[in-house]
């Protein structure tokens, strides 16, 4: 009975990991005229970092180490937050040639975040919140 519960929790964490990896290919940012961008189109190093952190989380999930899996999931969330900040700063910097700050903010506002971010965050939170209980080898007499 207990091992079945352990397998279900591991599968839930693997589902969260799958959401993170698939989310990196979904549209994350919409730039008018250019179209939708995923992690790879945003920045190659961010995409590679996301996949490396996902591999670390996979290592923790497969080895039943909740601490490692959660650590990498927290690092993924921090990467996603950093990416969101970078998108905002880059869009403001992209329109830096405009003479007025209000114009820059208006034009930078046309760069919209897409639904792929929700999948990314959901996957990382699933990895963190899923309980991955270890088997207690001590027997009571």
49-68 per-position pLDDT tens digit:
999 999 999 999 999 888 99
Give the C-alpha distances (Å, rounded to integers) separating 88 from 59, 104, 133.
32, 12, 39
73-94 per-position pLDDT tens digit:
999 999 999 998 888 877 766 6
Sheet holding 29-31, edge to edge: 35-37, 29-31, 112-113
Nearest to 48 by CA among 74, 79, 18, 85: 79
* Contacting residues for 64 by C-beta, under 8 A, at least 6 apart: 6, 10, 132, 134
Global pTM?
A: 0.80
Confidence of residue 1 (pLDDT cuts 50, 70, 90): very low
13-47 per-position pLDDT tens digit:
999 999 999 999 988 888 777 778 888 888 889 89
102-131 per-position pLDDT tens digit:
766 776 667 788 898 999 999 999 999 987
Q: How far apart are CA 100 and CA 52, in angstroms?
A: 40
């Amino acid at each position: 009975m207990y091992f079945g519960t352990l397998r279900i929790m591991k599968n839930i964490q693997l589902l969260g990991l799958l959401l993170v990896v698939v989310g990196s290919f979904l549209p994350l940012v919409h730039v008018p005229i250019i179209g939708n961008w995923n992690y790879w189109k945003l920045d190659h190093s961010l995409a590679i970092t996301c996949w490396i952190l996902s591999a670390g989380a996979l290592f923790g999930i497969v080895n039943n180490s909740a601490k490692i899996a959660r650590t990498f999931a927290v690092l993924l969330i921090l990467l996603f937050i950093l990416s969101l900040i970078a998108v905002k700063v880059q869009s403001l910097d992209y329109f830096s040639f405009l003479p007025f700050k209000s114009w820059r903010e208006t034009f930078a506002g046309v760069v919209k975040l897409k639904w792929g971010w929700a999948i990314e965050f959901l996957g990382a939170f699933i990895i963190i919140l899923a309980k991955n209980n270890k088997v207690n080898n001590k027997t009571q007499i």
